């Protein structure tokens, strides 16, 4: 079991670093949003603030190091670098699937990163489908206890499991089991996709089952059916996966749909997020926290300092956006009218 997990996780990282694993002709949809430049911002750039809260903890920027990896030697190096950088910059951080932590002693340090990130929100992670394969409240609580996590996110990855060799395919009657986890595990439980998106109807079902926040993980970034297509040894699944290279709900559409169904539930926007400008767009349409994954991955193979530099660029891009439209706070950004969505301006100009 340990060797198979090590091999799979290492291959996932290698493919995400070296291959084109994004969906074909599929974007986040954020290119349809633009800001209206304010030539007279009347803001001191030094006064622009990015701090907020997540999982009842302060963070210095509305950013999350999204779930990526764990369970291999390379994953240990990556997660330690990410954790150190997250602590330095005050970002939340999420682990890759922690199933391996309970099923193998190998590379447990890739998951036990709290010592490197003692103060920031830390999210453990498990595939929701494992609730149909013997996992329950005890196992989920054990994961939380071992990782010292502030939350557990259950990831939904149905199409990835179909293409993955040996994938777990029984997604039947998961919602009542998710509800049991929400009711009995002693931290907030979130739900996320892995790159195909969550819409408002599904999000509402999850919320009614007790899910505390939704990470939409929309289309426009890494496509895990394409990653697994490159790994599978089954030519039938490899060929079938090609038909799904444009599958998924764009991240923008996910945010808008979830927000329309759940006006007050925290939304994490992930899936193809590359810049602080992307983050600003997502915030204006309803997201609270922005998740970055592959944008940080290359730097994380190098050093925590390299990750910090990438984080600082993303933060600067968000601040530049806010300066460019003349807002000082995330709350003002969320409520700005200096934005155009699909060609429709929210800015009302008298006399026009």
pLDDT tens for the chain, residues 1 to 352: 556 767 888 899 988 999 988 888 899 999 999 999 999 999 999 999 999 999 999 999 999 999 999 989 999 999 999 999 999 999 999 999 999 999 988 889 999 999 999 999 999 999 999 999 999 999 999 999 999 999 999 999 999 999 999 999 999 999 999 999 999 999 999 999 999 999 999 999 999 999 999 999 999 998 888 889 999 999 999 999 999 999 999 999 999 999 999 999 999 999 999 999 999 999 999 999 999 999 999 999 999 999 999 999 999 999 999 999 999 999 999 999 999 988 887 665 443 3
The token pair that represents 278 in the structure block: 């992307």
Q: Which CATH superfamily is domain 2-30+62-305 in?
A: Aldolase class I (3.20.20.70)
Closest CA to 101 of 66, 64, 133, 141: 141
Task: Give the separation between CA 271 and CA 216, rounded to whole angstroms.
Answer: 8
State the pLDDT at residue 32: 96
State the pLDDT at residue 350: 42
Query: What pTM was estimated for this model as a whole?
Result: 0.95
For 16, 54, 59, 101, 134, the CA distances from 81, given in Å and listed in that order, are: 17, 21, 18, 19, 32
Sheet of strand 33-35, all strands in order from the earlier edge strand to the far edge: 33-35, 339-341, 344-345
Q: Which runs of E-coded beta strand occur in the chain? A: 33-35, 52-54, 57-59, 63-65, 92-94, 122-127, 151-156, 189-193, 213-215, 267-269, 289-292, 339-341, 344-345
Residue 27 CB-density burial (10 A; 0-12 exposed, 13-18 middle, 19+ buried): middle
The token pair that represents 214 in the structure block: 């939704």
DSSP element (H, E) containing 333: helix 330-334
State the pLDDT at residue 346: 66
Under a CB-based contact definition with an 8 Å cutoff, are residues 227 and 297 in contact?
A: no
Task: Give the separation between CA 104 and CA 210, rounded to whole angstroms.
Answer: 30
State the pLDDT at residue 22: 87
SS3 72: coil
Backbone angles phi, psi at 23, to 5 degrees: -65, 155
Domain boundaries, the chain: 2-30+62-305
State the pLDDT at residue 2: 53
Under a CB-based contact definition with an 8 Å cutoff, are residues 199 and 136 in contact?
A: no
Residue 190: strand pairing partners = 153, 213
């Amino acid at each position: 079991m340990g060797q198979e997990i090590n091999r799979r996780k290492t291959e996932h990282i290698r493919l995400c670093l070296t291959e084109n694993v994004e969906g074909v002709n599929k974007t986040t949809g954020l290119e349809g949003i633009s800001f209206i430049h304010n030539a007279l911002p009347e803001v001191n750039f030094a006064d622009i603030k990015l701090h907020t809260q997540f999982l009842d903890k302060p963070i210095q920027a509305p950013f999350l190091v999204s779930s990526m990896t764990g369970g291999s030697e390379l994953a240990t190096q990556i997660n330690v670098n990410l954790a150190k950088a997250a602590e330095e910059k005050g970002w939340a951080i999420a682990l890759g699937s922690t199933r391996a932590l309970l099923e193998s002693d190998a590379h447990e340090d890739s998951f036990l990163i709290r010592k490197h990130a003692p103060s920031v929100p830390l999210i453990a992670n498990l595939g929701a489908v494992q609730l149909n394969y013997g996992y329950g409240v005890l196992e989920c609580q054990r994961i939380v206890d071992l990782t010292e996590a502030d939350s557990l996110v259950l990831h939904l990855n149905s199409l990835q499991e179909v293409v993955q060799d040996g994938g777990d395919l029984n997604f039947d009657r998961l919602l009542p089991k998710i509800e049991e986890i929400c009711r009995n595990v002693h931290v907030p439980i979130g739900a996320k996709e892995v790159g195909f998106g969550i819409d408002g109807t599904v999000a509402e079902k999850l919320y009614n089952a007790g899910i505390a926040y939704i990470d939409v993980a929309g289309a426009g970034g890494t496509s895990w059916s394409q990653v697994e297509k490159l790994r599978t040894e089954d030519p039938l699944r490899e060929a079938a996966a090609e038909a799904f290279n444009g599958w998924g709900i764009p991240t923008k559409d996910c945010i808008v749909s979830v927000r329309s169904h759940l006006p007050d539930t925290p939304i994490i926007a992930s899936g193809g997020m590359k810049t602080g400008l992307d983050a600003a767009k997502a915030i204006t349409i309803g997201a609270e926290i922005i998740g970055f994954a592959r944008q940080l991955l290359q730097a994380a193979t190098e050093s925590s300092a390299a990750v910090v530099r990438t984080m600082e660029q993303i933060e600067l891009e968000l601040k530049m956006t806010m300066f460019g439209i003349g807002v000082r706070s995330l709350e003002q950004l969320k409520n700005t009218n200096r934005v155009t969505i699909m060609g429709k301006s929210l800015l009302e100009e008298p006399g026009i």
